[in-house]
Chains A and B, each alone.
Chain A
Amino acid sequence: MRRSRWTLRDGSITFVDAMAAITHVRNQHAVLTPESGDDLGERLAALAADLFSADAATRAVERAFLDRLLRILALTPHEVHDLAVAGRLTGMLPPDTPGAAEPIRFADLAGWRDPK
């Protein structure tokens, strides 16, 4: 069995967990993977590194997030929304690390889709 970097970081987050979650999502949508033999585990590991390493406050937070992520990957985005509205998603997500609420000048805001 191939092992992703997730496996090396934390025993509770394994390639098998990731693949099980992915398979569930894939089956749910009844669509085949685009390329047979594709190393999804490695690509997921790279994805996780891209998404989390830059801004995760600690590796523990990162692991906690990924752990919970795998648990709720089986949900559709609609179900995630329902959980959020019901206030039940909070317990499944790690607490936020508060950012610094430094004032920003209105004139300095980069308007979305404004010409550069």
Chain B
Amino acid sequence: MTATARLLRHVDTARKTQLPIRIAEATPQTLALWDAHVQPHVRNAREFRFDRKWQWPALLKFHQVQEAIIGLAGARPAADVRLLQAFAERTDGTAFPVGQVLLACGFPFIRDWDAPSVFLWYLAAAPRQALHAAGLAPDLKLMRPLVDIAVQESFARGFEGRIGLHAARSRWNLAANRDLYNRYRHIGLAPLPGGLRASVGRRNDRRYFYLDAPLALDFARRLDYLR
């Protein structure tokens, strides 16, 4: 059974209300919005953030070039690297980026290297402080919707919903590592079993997650009420 890609149109808040969103590909202008209105809150957040020092435009460009060169070298087909953003509407009608993901589309699936998938390299949600400053509900529940972008992109490209990701790991904040791991498990991602290699030249540190076709269908169905 295959699924048709249908991106989310709403996200939940912790208070069980919903907020309309729109998914769009990042442009220099929209990335500048993130840098101006979200990243400062990420940098200054009191809580630990894995994305504190991420430079999204540079990450995008770097991965695009790296994939292109890997493709040219013949190591494997180059993945198509895309940066997609989720926007909410402010009261003045302008768009505000509430989350974004950097995807490698066509990356080898971590459970079956011969099958293409969407690898979710980077994921970030705007912190509460940024949402509050923008006049938006600060309690948006964004992790599932952001992962869903990768799932829908996988459907759209004929990859049957297959995705992979690695839960970022801090060398010193073990509580943050545990929390992130548990959050990915909680939303329905399957951990890559120990003993399987995650990728060429890469040790499986047991922080890789995936959705295969059946799991992706189930994951997507749970969010259908928001499409």
Contact = CB atoms under 8 A, between A and B. Distances in A.
Contact of A112 (B7, B50, B53, B55): B7
B89 A34 contact: no
Given A29-B200, A77-B121, A112-B84, 4 more contacts: A76-B202, A77-B119, A84-B59, A111-B7
A106 B95 contact: yes
B122 interface: yes
Contact of A93 (B30, B33, B58, B170): B58
A110 interface: yes
Contact of A81 (B25, B37, B122): B122
Interface of A: 21-23, 25-26, 28-34, 40, 43-44, 47-48, 51, 55, 65, 69, 72-73, 76-82, 84-87, 89-90, 93-94, 96, 98-113
Interface stretch (B65-73, B125-133, B187-195, B216-224): B65-73
Given A73-B66, A94-B58, A106 B87 contact: yes
Instruction: Give the size category of B's interface with A.
Output: 35 or more
A112 B37 contact: no
Interface string B3-45: 0010100000000000000111100111111011100000000
A33 B119 CA distance: 24
B68 A47 contact: yes
A75 to B, nearest CB: 8
B110 to A, nearest CB: 10
Q: Which of B32, B73, B166, B171 has most chain A Cβ within 10 Å?
A: B73
A112 B21 CA distance: 12
A69 B65 contact: yes
Interface in B133-178: 152, 156, 166, 168-171
B98 to A, nearest CB: 12
Nearest to B28: A99
A90 to B, nearest CB: 5
A63 to B, nearest CB: 14
A65 to B, nearest CB: 7
Given A87-B53, A94-B58, A113-B5, A104 B30 contact: yes
A106 B58 CA distance: 25
A113 B7 contact: yes
Contact of B22 (A47, A76, A93, A111): A111
